[in-house]
């Protein structure tokens, strides 16, 4: 059973039957397709696309144009599948402002190196923890890394909050028709890079709810598959075990797991995210 609770697909709008006008090409459903950058593009006749891809000399513009369009559509699907919300879609490594602040420069450098060498980290299943004060740009940099590895490595990625995992599993207990807990964990384990955001934000009573055990299961599953996880939290590294369990905390540190500390005070009032 294929289940997509977290992995999104582009929204479609204003779908209607359309004929391209070329004899022999059947009517197709034309839609406006959501683009990651915020615009919408019209889908095109699939018969025209097929003709350009497979029945047109490879040096002709129509063929080259179709190849470019297919690549752009796949990239758009992969970017939207990350779950990066519109608020964070313009966040890149180069748009993260550090000024002369050495601590900010260090955090950015760790994130940039992680993205640049992602093929090595992916092969090693090496984790990265972004930890520190709220409003210091941790989610900005986590989203920037995700975009980077999707655009440049052809990898798949996903960002979810700890709360959304808990909510999805709670919903699965209440419904017989939706995905099961196993389906949900399988989906979170399926991507090349998973970012778990806001760990420790919504756990009012550590040790008294099932979020830590659940996060442990997700992190451990990815550990078993040698797949890297980025964990984002406003908690202190030494307190992390209360929110994901001690074994998962060890898993993240294993094999050279990296830590980027965000030790300065919030700049949210100045518009940073
Ligand atoms: Zn056509």
**pLDDT per position as a tens digit, 92-137:** 999 999 999 999 999 999 999 999 999 999 999 999 999 998 889 9
| Stretch 197-211: mean pLDDT | 74
Three-class DSSP category at 259: strand
Name the DSSP class of 260: E
Spatial contact of 195 and 230, defined as CB atoms under 8 Å apart: yes
What spacing in Å lies between the alpha carbon of 57 and ligand 1's midpoint? 17
Spatial contact of 219 and 229, defined as CB atoms under 8 Å apart: yes
What spacing in Å lies between the alpha carbon of 21 and ligand 1's midpoint? 7
Among residues 82, 74, 72, the alpha carbon closest in space to that of 8 is found at 82
**pLDDT of 255:** 83
What spacing in Å lies between the alpha carbon of 23 and ligand 1's midpoint? 8
Spatial contact of 112 and 40, defined as CB atoms under 8 Å apart: no
Beta bridge partners of 129: 231, 259
Q: What proportion of the chain, given as a percentage, has pLDDT over 90?
A: 77
CATH class of this structure's domain 86-270: alpha beta
Q: Which two tokens stand for residue 98?
A: 């550090």
**pLDDT per position as a tens digit, 181-201:** 999 999 999 999 999 999 998
What spacing in Å lies between the alpha carbon of 44 and ligand 1's midpoint? 8
What spacing in Å lies between the alpha carbon of 7 and ligand 1's midpoint? 31
Among residues 133, 137, 132, the alpha carbon closest in space to that of 95 is found at 137
What spacing in Å lies between the alpha carbon of 76 and ligand 1's midpoint? 22
What spacing in Å lies between the alpha carbon of 49 and ligand 1's midpoint? 7
Ranges of CATH 3.40.50.300 domains, the chain: 86-270
What spacing in Å lies between the alpha carbon of 29 and ligand 1's midpoint? 12
> Is the pLDDT confidence value at 80 over 80?
yes
What spacing in Å lies between the alpha carbon of 43 and ligand 1's midpoint? 11
**pLDDT of 174:** 86
**pLDDT of 203:** 54
Among residues 214, 219, 210, 209, the alpha carbon closest in space to that of 254 is found at 219
What spacing in Å lies between the alpha carbon of 55 and ligand 1's midpoint? 13
Beta bridge partners of 16: 30
**Sign of the dihedral through C-alpha 92, 70, 12, 9:** negative
**pLDDT of 205:** 59
- Residues 6 or more apart whose CB falls under 8 angstroms from that of 61 comprise none
Q: Which pLDDT band, with edges at 50, 70 and 90, does 270 fall under?
A: very low
**pLDDT of 176:** 79
What spacing in Å lies between the alpha carbon of 26 and ligand 1's midpoint? 7
Burial of 159 (0-12, 13-18, 19+ CB in 10 A): buried
**pLDDT of 177:** 82
What spacing in Å lies between the alpha carbon of 74 and ligand 1's midpoint? 20
What spacing in Å lies between the alpha carbon of 65 and ligand 1's midpoint? 15
What spacing in Å lies between the alpha carbon of 18 and ligand 1's midpoint? 10
Beta bridge partners of 12: 33
> Is the pLDDT confidence value at 209 over 90?
no
What spacing in Å lies between the alpha carbon of 95 and ligand 1's midpoint? 41
Q: What proportion of the chain, given as a percentage, has pLDDT over 70?
A: 94
């Amino acid at each position: 059973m294929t289940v997509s609770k977290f992995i999104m697909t582009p929204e479609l709008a204003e779908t209607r039957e359309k004929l391209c006008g070329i004899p022999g090409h059947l009517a197709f459903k034309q839609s406006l397709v959501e683009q990651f950058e915020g615009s919408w593009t019209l889908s095109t006749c699939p018969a025209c696309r097929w003709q350009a891809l497979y029945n047109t000399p490879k040096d002709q513009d129509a063929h080259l144009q179709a190849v470019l369009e297919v690549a752009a559509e796949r990239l758009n699907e992969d970017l939207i599948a990350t779950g990066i919300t519109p608020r964070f879609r313009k966040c890149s490594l180069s748009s993260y402002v550090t000024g002369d602040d050495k601590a900010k420069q260090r955090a950015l450098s760790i994130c940039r190196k992680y993205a640049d060498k992602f093929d090595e980290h992916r092969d090693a299943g090496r984790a990265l923890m972004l930890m520190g004060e709220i409003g210091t740009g941790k989610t900005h940099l986590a989203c920037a890394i995700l975009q980077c590895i999707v655009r440049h490595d052809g990898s798949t990625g996903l960002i979810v909050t700890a709360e959304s995992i808990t909510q999805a599993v709670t919903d699965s207990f209440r419904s017989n028709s939706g995905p099961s807990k196993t389906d949900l964990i399988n989906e979170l384990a399926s991507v090349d890079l998973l970012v778990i955001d806001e760990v420790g934000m919504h756990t009012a009573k550590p040790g008294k709810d099932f979020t830590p055990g659940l996060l442990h299961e997700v992190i451990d599953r990815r550990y078993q598959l040698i797949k890297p996880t980025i964990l984002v939290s406003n908690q202190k590294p030494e307190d992390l075990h209360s929110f994901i369990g001690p074994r998962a905390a060890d898993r993240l540190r294993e094999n050279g797991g990296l830590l980027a500390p965000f030790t300065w005070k919030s700049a949210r009032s100045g518009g940073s995210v």
